[in-house]
Structure 1
């Protein structure tokens, strides 16, 4: 990622599509570039990977990228925007499974059933890279860095699926959610302490298995304690260390 995009940019002003890579450099939100560069692979050495990529979008707020039951043929890396994955039960109730930011991959949970087990919905204008999974698997078998990174992504996906299964308080869940979100933004060159919540309070509550009014109460309490500032959908983490302490049972070390 180019240094001028790393500092002082918040998600409401930074457009990752503006830095779309070139013959020598990866797109700044590439889901695989970090792993490849770490072991000495650059874009010229990974021309085969680049040829697998199909850019598509935009999908607008509320539009579906894939649906539960669709055949699994590809994984999707978010280039811009935010996506939620969700399931609708027999009574028509939606269950939010996760949120995905630029540089993150959706669709990995479809590998075993060979079809998508959930819906993926854009929370704002979003664009994607589409990777043919059969072709990606073949390439991964020849390039260890890609294979290892793919395994790490799958492992993380499995871990996220069970993250909130335990008996945790509302404060623990909210603190862990905000810290995790901030760290994921920071890993992609955004501010990790000042960002927009593109997901609604209702979606956050659904994901954390809390009532919407509980989410509002926890946010108000954290603001009173000086841990955060909230202005509409803009969130500022004033004391990330204390939030991490509160949510430590739900966060990786």
Structure 2
């Protein structure tokens, strides 16, 4: 008999994994230790459930959802959820905290390609070739929910809203990439920083937080990498915004005082 902390399934034959109805709850194979049972809860009790991929699952089919979302996983600040080249096996919903995605180049340099907040999904990059193309690194102590992709695919066959939401997420990735290219190619350095702050503001507001006062979990160097500029350029832009009275900066705490002025850049 296997230990109580981990249950496994034994497929009847080699090939496609067993149907979702045959799956039992298992711990993410990459997790360093079993989760504290006191922290476990149903998706319906998650404060970010409304923003998550799983929100597309109708209430009547939540039992299937519970089987799909295998476990929480803790990721400490600076730790990696997955690395470029790792075999793709799951999508991850950010339950709390935040992440950055980083692409490394053959010459040894690296580039930040995105910042993911609670309620957003990580791992979509792995669908194309069954391997991840970037590193996902926690900007702070964070937790994610693991959703094995073969389970997501099985559920999508039965639950059309879930399939539609997955397609939406993939389309949003394309739109985000296109927007980043436009941001880097068509805007001045100050306009890039202003656009970045306004984007964070709208994402915070969508999550029920203050749109005018929030903490930057990423460093200015990471912001510069994402926006295609040097650390000093980011700092100069923020200093100018503060002199103009458009923002106030206290360490990593930012307060937007004149969003209209930032939008006009």
TM-score by length of 2: 0.78
Alignment partner of 2:189 out of 160, 170, 183? 170
1:175-199 per-position Cα deviation (integer Å, ceiling 9, x unaligned): 1111111111211222222111110
Whole-Å separation in 2 of the counterparts to 1:146 and 1:241: 37
User: Partner of 1:241 in structure 2?
Assistant: 260
> Which of structures 1 and 2 has the bigger CA Rg?
2
Whole-Å separation in 1 of the counterparts to 2:154 and 2:137: 29
User: Partner of 1:70 in structure 2?
Assistant: 86
What is the number of equivalent residue pairs in this alignment? 223
User: Partner of 1:57 in structure 2?
Assistant: 73
SS in 1 for 2:95: strand
TM-score by length of 1: 0.82
CA-atom RMSD in angstroms: 2.0
Q: Within the alignment, does 1:153 sit opposite 2:169 as a pair?
A: yes
Q: Which structure is richer in relative contact order (CA contacts within 8 A, separation 6 or more)?
A: 1
CA positional deviation for 1:167: 2.5
- The list of structure 1 runs, each at least 4 consecutive aligned residues, that deviate by more than 4 angstroms after superposition, is 18-23, 33-36
Q: Within the alignment, does 1:229 sit opposite 2:245 as a pair?
A: no
User: Partner of 2:200 in structure 1?
Assistant: 181
Q: Within the alignment, does 1:208 sit opposite 2:227 as a pair?
A: yes
1:74-109 per-position Cα deviation (integer Å, ceiling 9, x unaligned): 111111111000012222212101000000001112
| Equivalent pair of 2:54/2:162 in contact (CA under 8 Å) | no
Query: What stretches of structure 1 of length at least 5 have no aligned partner?
Result: 1-17, 247-253
Q: 1:46 and 1:245, CA in 2 relative to 1: closer, same or farther beyond 3 A?
A: farther
| Equivalent pair of 1:49/1:136 in contact (CA under 8 Å) | no
SS in 1 for 2:186: coil
Whole-Å separation in 1 of the counterparts to 2:74 and 2:40: 15
